[in-house]
Amino acid sequence: MRRKIFVVICAALLLVCVMLLAACDKNGKIEADKRITVTLLDGEHYSVVGDNKRNVERGESVTFDVTLERGYKIIGAYGDKCEISDELSFNQTITFYDIKYKSTARLETVEMETLRFKTHNDEQIGDVILSSVLGQAEENLYYAEDILSVMAQPNDGYRFWCWSKGNFLNDGGEFYDYSDTLENFDFGGISDLYANFKNLADTGNSIFYRMDGGREIEQDVTQLLEHHPRANTYTAVDMRGFGIDCDGRYLAGWETENGEYIGLGSRVTVSSETATILLPIWKDYADEILFDMDGDGKLSLKRGAIELEELVIPREVRGIEVTTIGENAFAEYAASVYYIPDSVTTVENNAFRGCENLAELYMSDNVMNISDAAFSGCKNFTTLHLNAYMKPRRATDQAILKTDAYDRLALNAEKSDGTNLVVLGGSSVNYGYSVSAAESFCREQLGDDDITAYNLGFNATYAEMAQFEVLIEYLKPGDIFLHAPEQFHSAWYGNTMQSPLTSSTSVALTDGYYLFRFTEGNWQFLSSLTVNKYGNLFSMFSSFNSDRANSAEYSYSDYIDLTPVPELLPIGEVSKPECGEDKYFYSGNIDFNVYDSVEFAKNDIYSFAIAKGVNTFVAFPPMNRQKLMLMFDSEEQLKEAVDKYSARVKEILSDASLSVLLTQYDTVYDGRHFSDNDYHLGSPFKNTHTESVLAALVGVMKSEGKI
Cα–Cα distance measured from residue 23 to residue 34, given in angstroms and rounded to the nearest whole number: 9
Q: Tell me which DSSP letter residue 681 carries.
A: B
Higher pLDDT, 141 or 170: 141
Return the exposure string of 40-73: e unless at least 16 CB atoms fall within 10 Å of the residue's CB, then b: beebebbebeeebebebeeeeebebebebeebbb
| Statement: residue 487 has pLDDT above 90 | no
CA nearest 412: which of 457, 445, 466, 451? Answer: 451
25 pLDDT band (50/70/90 cuts)? very low
Share of the chain above pLDDT 70, in %: 92
CA nearest 110: which of 71, 78, 145? Answer: 71
**The residue type at 331:** A
Confirm if 150 and 118 have CB atoms less than 8 A apart: no
CA nearest 228: which of 270, 171, 179, 189? Answer: 270
| Statement: residue 161 has pLDDT above 80 | yes
Alpha carbon distance, N-terminus to C-terminus of the chain: 118
Query: Residue 625's pLDDT is what?
Result: 93
Higher pLDDT, 31 or 225: 225
Share of the chain above pLDDT 90, in %: 59
| Statement: residue 20 has pLDDT above 50 | no
Provide the 10 A C-beta neighbour count for residue 565.
Answer: 8
**pTM attached to this predicted model:** 0.84
| Statement: residue 591 has pLDDT above 90 | no
Confirm if 313 and 322 have CB atoms less than 8 A apart: yes
CA nearest 397: which of 518, 237, 548? Answer: 518
Confirm if 504 and 495 have CB atoms less than 8 A apart: no
**The residue type at 288:** E
Query: Residue 117's pLDDT is what?
Result: 86
Confirm if 542 and 568 have CB atoms less than 8 A apart: no
| Statement: residue 5 has pLDDT above 60 | no
Query: Residue 79's pLDDT is what?
Result: 67
Neighbouring-strand partners of residue 116: 141
* For residues 58-66, average pLDDT: 92
Interval 620-643: pLDDT, tens = 999 999 999 988 999 999 999 999
Cα–Cα distance measured from residue 584 to residue 673, given in angstroms and rounded to the nearest whole number: 11
| Statement: residue 533 has pLDDT above 80 | yes
| Statement: residue 200 has pLDDT above 70 | yes
Helix 397-413 / helix 512-519 crossing angle, nearest 10 deg: 60
Query: Residue 559's pLDDT is what?
Result: 67
- Per DSSP, helices labelled H in 480-585 are 489-492, 512-519, 537-548
Interval 677-707: pLDDT, tens = 788 999 999 999 999 999 999 999 988 888 7
User: By mean pLDDT, which of 27-31, 294-298, 370-374 is the weakest?
Assistant: 27-31
* For residues 105-124, average pLDDT: 89
User: By mean pLDDT, which of 339-343, 381-385, 584-588 is the weakest?
Assistant: 584-588
Phi-psi region of 28 (alpha: psi -120 to 50; beta: other; left: phi over 0): left
User: By mean pLDDT, which of 361-370, 518-527, 576-585 is the weakest?
Assistant: 576-585
| Statement: residue 1 has pLDDT above 50 | no
Confirm if 405 and 381 have CB atoms less than 8 A apart: no
The alpha-carbon radius of gyration of the chain (Å, integer) is 39
User: By mean pLDDT, which of 43-52, 198-207, 233-242 is the weakest?
Assistant: 198-207
CA nearest 664: which of 628, 694, 697, 633? Answer: 628
Query: Residue 570's pLDDT is what?
Result: 59
Q: What are phi and psi of 223, to 5 degrees?
A: -65, -40
Phi-psi region of 568 (alpha: psi -120 to 50; beta: other; left: phi over 0): alpha
User: By mean pLDDT, which of 300-309, 549-558, 573-582 is the weakest?
Assistant: 549-558
Confirm if 253 and 263 have CB atoms less than 8 A apart: yes
| Statement: residue 455 has pLDDT above 50 | yes
Cα–Cα distance measured from residue 143 to residue 610, given in angstroms and rounded to the nearest whole number: 64
Helix 464-471 / helix 512-519 crossing angle, nearest 10 deg: 30
Query: Residue 13's pLDDT is what?
Result: 37
**Angle made by CA atoms 23, 24, 30, in degrees to the nearest 5:** 85
Peptide bond into 314 cis (omega under 30): no
| Statement: residue 386 has pLDDT above 80 | yes
Helix 464-471 / helix 397-413 crossing angle, nearest 10 deg: 40
Interval 203-228: pLDDT, tens = 778 999 999 888 899 999 988 888 88
| Statement: residue 6 has pLDDT above 50 | no
Please report which helix (H) or strand (E) contains residue 480, including its range. strand 480-484
Query: Residue 272's pLDDT is what?
Result: 78
574 pLDDT band (50/70/90 cuts)? confident
Cα–Cα distance measured from residue 697 to residue 419, given in angstroms and rounded to the nearest whole number: 15
Query: Residue 529's pLDDT is what?
Result: 97
Query: Residue 565's pLDDT is what?
Result: 53
Interval 258-300: pLDDT, tens = 899 999 999 999 987 788 999 999 999 999 999 999 989 999 9
Q: Tell me which DSSP letter residue 672 carries.
A: G
**Angle made by CA atoms 694, 697, 698, in degrees to the nearest 5:** 90
Cα–Cα distance measured from residue 674 to residue 658, given in angstroms and rounded to the nearest whole number: 29
Query: Residue 333's pLDDT is what?
Result: 97
Burial of 416 (0-12, 13-18, 19+ CB in 10 A): exposed
3-state secondary structure of 611: helix
List Cβ neighbours of 567 (8 Å cut-off, separation of 6 or more).
none
Q: 162-167 contacts: CB < 8 A, separation 24 or more?
A: 162/196, 162/214, 162/216, 163/193, 163/194, 163/195, 163/196, 164/193, 164/194, 164/196, 164/214, 165/190, 165/192, 165/193, 165/194, 166/192, 166/194, 167/120, 167/194, 167/196
Cα–Cα distance measured from residue 563 to residue 575, given in angstroms and rounded to the nearest whole number: 13
Cα–Cα distance measured from residue 644 to residue 37, given in angstroms and rounded to the nearest whole number: 106
Q: What are phi and psi of 500, to 5 degrees?
A: -65, -25
Helix 685-703 / helix 435-446 crossing angle, nearest 10 deg: 30
Cα–Cα distance measured from residue 404 to residue 458, given in angstroms and rounded to the nearest whole number: 13
Confirm if 692 and 657 have CB atoms less than 8 A apart: no
Helix 537-548 / helix 512-519 crossing angle, nearest 10 deg: 70
Q: Count Cα atoms within 13 angstroms, Cβ side, for 601.
A: 32
Confirm if 103 and 38 have CB atoms less than 8 A apart: yes
Q: What is the mean pLDDT of the chain?
A: 88
87 pLDDT band (50/70/90 cuts)? confident
HEC string of 353-415? Answer: CCCCCCCEEEEECCCCECCHHHHCCCCCCCEEEEECCCCCCCCCHHHHHHHHHHHHHHHHHCC
Query: Residue 80's pLDDT is what?
Result: 60
Query: Residue 556's pLDDT is what?
Result: 73
11 pLDDT band (50/70/90 cuts)? very low
User: By mean pLDDT, which of 391-395, 493-497, 577-581 is the weakest?
Assistant: 391-395
Query: Residue 576's pLDDT is what?
Result: 86
